[in-house]
């Protein structure tokens, strides 16, 4: 059994592969080739978003990947700005049209707040998220989506959906990496039967410059990205490393080693890293 065969079973009974290819910042005209390369290597889970501007390329890659559609798990995200039923419904149809696919395995709300409010305001858009969620639930009933979930949701955001809708989120996709391990929300999600997914496992590249991480990687005779991906893997979460580089796709999946409990604790205590140029993005603490 390879890492590509490992799955979690979500609360609706659908299996989700534990390792995914993330495609943020891959230009649309390069995305199809990236997806096809990943599938050849063994990846079975592709993660995109309306905001990435490359759903079309992902769809092309999936359609031409050379394996049956039902063997791939394809996820996209409703734009964070959409907080009402009609726009959410329309956006799901647009995504399917762009991708040329009959259904998606999963769609998630990209953020509880529109990006321009992240790190700036306290409005959690409870009503708006419920509206978007209802559109997603209806898309499941219509056979357009198999599963629905959320991203960057805190406890109060999850509770809003759990208490006020018929569908518990299947996943909560959060930023998790060495230097930023949000233990409370990981535990709360998992305790509630919600699979946790880790985005930016390599801290948007910042981990590459960290001396402690470099030293630890050398100790295990692995690369910094391999150590980072394995760290997240051992937290029992889905991991979404992103790359368009075929060699990196291969090495990112080569994580057949075990980080000791002691070293996991050392890495968990690491302070937040500087994200450099990426720090402008709201997910990394920036403001739009």
Q: CA end-to-end span of the chain, whole Å?
A: 43
pTM of structure: 0.97
d(CA 48, CA 101): 14
Per-residue pLDDT of the chain (288 residues; tens, 9 = 90+): 899 999 999 999 999 999 999 999 999 999 999 999 999 999 999 999 999 999 999 999 999 999 999 999 999 999 999 999 999 999 999 999 999 999 999 999 999 999 999 989 899 999 999 999 999 999 999 999 999 999 999 999 999 999 999 999 999 999 999 999 999 999 999 999 999 999 999 999 999 999 999 999 999 999 999 999 999 999 999 999 999 999 999 999 999 999 999 999 999 999 888 888 888 888 888 888
What is residue 211's three-state secondary structure? helix
CA angle 76, 64, 253 (to 5 degrees): 65
**Positive or negative: CA dihedral 24, 28, 31, 32:** positive
Task: Name the active-site residue from 52, 188, 231, 275.
Answer: 52
Reduce the DSSP state of residue 116 to 3 states and report it.
helix
Q: Closest by alpha carbon to 37, among 271, 269, 248?
A: 248
Domains, the chain, ranges and CATH?
10-284 (3.20.20.100)
φ and ψ of 153, to 5 deg: -85, 135
Answer yes or no: 231 catalytic.
no
Pairing state of beta strands 195-199 and 171-175? parallel
Give the pair of three-digit tokens for residue 121: 């305001």
Distance, in Å, from the CA atom of 145 to the CA atom of 143, rounded to the nearest integer, reads 6
For residue 130, what are the CA distances in angstroms to 36, 109, 126?
35, 10, 6
* 110 annotated to bind ligand: yes
């Amino acid at each position: 059994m390879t890492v590509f065969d490992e799955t979690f079973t979500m609360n609706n009974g659908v299996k989700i592969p534990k390792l995914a290819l993330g495609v943020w910042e891959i230009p649309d005209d390069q995305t199809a080739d990236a997806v096809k390369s990943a599938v050849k290597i063994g990846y079975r889970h592709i993660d995109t978003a309306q905001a990435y501007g490359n759903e079309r390329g992902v769809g092309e890659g999936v359609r031409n990947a050379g394996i049956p559609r039902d063997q791939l798990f394809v996820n996209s995200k409703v734009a964070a700005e959409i907080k009402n039923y009609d726009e959410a419904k329309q956006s799901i149809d647009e995504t399917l049209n762009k991708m040329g696919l009959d259904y998606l395995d999963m769609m998630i709300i990209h953020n509880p707040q529109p990006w321009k409010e992240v790190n700036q305001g306290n409005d959690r858009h409870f009503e708006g998220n419920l509206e978007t969620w209802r559109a997603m639930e209806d898309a499941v009933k219509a056979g357009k989506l198999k599963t629905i979930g959320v991203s960057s949701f805190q406890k109060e955001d999850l509770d809003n959906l759990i208490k006020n809708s018929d569908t518990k989120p299947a996943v909560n996709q959060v930023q998790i990496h060495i230097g930023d391990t949000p233990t409370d929300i990981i535990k709360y999600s998992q305790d509630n039967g919600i699979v946790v997914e880790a985005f930016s496992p390599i801290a948007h590249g910042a981990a590459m410059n960290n001396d402690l991480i470099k030293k630890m990687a050398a100790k295990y005779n692995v690369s910094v990205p391999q150590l980072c991906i394995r760290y997240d893997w051992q937290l029992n979460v889905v991991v979404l490393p992103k790359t368009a580089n075929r060699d990196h796709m291969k090495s990112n999946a080569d994580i057949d080693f075990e980080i000791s409990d002691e070293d996991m604790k050392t890495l968990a205590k690491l302070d937040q890293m500087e994200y450099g140029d990426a720090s402008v993005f709201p997910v990394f603490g920036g403001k739009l």
